[in-house]
């Protein structure tokens, strides 16, 4: 079991040569702490290195996939610094993950809970699940390379609407605009996603990894450069909005 001091666990369970990773802080809607970032990175690194793991599936425990970063962590002394120190290695791990990465979105996916899905090769959503990118509402900028990954997945106009309106995306809408591949009947998303993962996994880690590299050639470098620009924009916004009395509780 991988856990941090705030109780964020990432559970790992093998289903044949498919590894299931479950974000398990359900009382906080699986909101990330610094240790949560570290725990997920550790689990992903383990899956990447395991020769008998061909496909990896992410899901959440409880009624959310993930509500993103724990805002209480942002507010505590040194919280932002600790979050940043753990987030960058996690993003590098996601950008370079060498095996098919799937997501079974069991519920709410907000903030990093949503941008995390853009690093997944295939996303399946429960019919009740919702996705939201709240960055403009919070007075900050896109994160985790999403300003590149989102238009690449859904097209520029859909990306602009999702990012600039901060509107909620339903499972049906996510399938319609290409954010997700498919939706599952309520309560069946993990079952359906594991079945799809096992159908892929029969081809083996070596062949799947080789073809994923072809599909994502050059993507990692672009993600890293995009994240550099996003961080610079976040800092600039924090300075600019601070001078006009921006309130993030509006």
pLDDT at 243: 54
How long a stretch of residues is the chain?
250
Q: Please state, in angstroms and rounded to a whole number, the distance separating the CA atoms of residues 140 and 145.
A: 14
pLDDT at 247: 45
Q: Please state, in angstroms and rounded to a whole number, the distance separating the CA atoms of residues 163 and 231.
A: 16
What tens-digit pLDDT sequence spans the chain (250 residues)?
Answer: 444 545 799 999 999 999 999 999 999 999 999 999 999 999 999 999 999 999 999 999 999 999 999 878 776 777 678 888 999 999 999 999 999 999 999 999 999 999 999 999 999 999 999 999 999 999 999 999 999 999 999 999 999 999 999 999 999 999 999 999 999 999 999 999 999 999 999 999 999 999 999 999 999 999 999 999 999 999 999 898 875 544 443 3
The Cα angle at residue 174 between residues 165 and 214, in degrees rounded to 5? 110
The tokens for 229 are: 């620009």
The Cα angle at residue 81 between residues 21 and 92, in degrees rounded to 5? 45
Specify the residue for token string 């996603």: 193
pLDDT at 250: 32
pLDDT at 79: 67
Please state which architecture CATH assigns to domain 2-206: Alpha-Beta Complex (3.90)
Tell me the sheet residues that pair with 24: 9
pLDDT at 245: 45
pLDDT at 7: 76
Non-local CB neighbours of 97 within 8 Å, separated by 6+ positions: 44, 48, 56, 119
CA nearest to 194, candidates 46, 54, 52: 54
Domain spans of the chain, in order of start: 2-206
Mean pLDDT of the chain: 93
pLDDT at 5: 47
């Amino acid at each position: 079991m991988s856990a941090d001091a705030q109780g964020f666990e990432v559970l790992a369970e093998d289903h044949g040569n498919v590894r299931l990773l479950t974000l398990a802080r359900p009382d906080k809607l699986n909101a990330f702490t610094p240790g949560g970032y570290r725990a997920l990175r550790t689990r992903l690194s383990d899956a990447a290195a395991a020769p008998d793991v061909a496909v990896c599936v992410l899901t959440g425990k409880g009624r959310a996939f993930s509500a993103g970063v724990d805002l209480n962590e942002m507010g505590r002394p040194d919280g932002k610094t600790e979050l940043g120190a753990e987030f960058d290695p996690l993003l590098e791990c996601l950008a370079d993950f060498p095996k098919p990465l799937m997501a079974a979105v069991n519920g709410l996916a907000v903030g990093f809970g949503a941008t995390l899905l853009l690093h997944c090769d295939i996303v399946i959503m429960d019919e009740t699940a919702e996705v939201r990118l709240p960055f403009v509402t919070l007075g900050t900028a896109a994160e985790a390379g999403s300003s590149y990954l989102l238009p690449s997945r859904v097209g520029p106009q859909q990306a602009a609407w999702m990012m600039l309106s901060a509107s909620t995306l339903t499972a049906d809408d996510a399938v319609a605009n290409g954010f997700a591949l498919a939706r599952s009947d309520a309560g069946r998303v993990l079952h359906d996603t594991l079945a799809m993962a096992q159908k892929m996994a029969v081809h083996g880690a070596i062949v799947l990894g080789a073809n994923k590299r072809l599909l994502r050639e050059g993507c990692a470098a672009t993600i890293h450069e995009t994240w550099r620009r996003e961080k610079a924009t976040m800092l600039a916004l924090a300075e600019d909005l601070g001078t006009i009395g921006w309130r993030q509780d509006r």
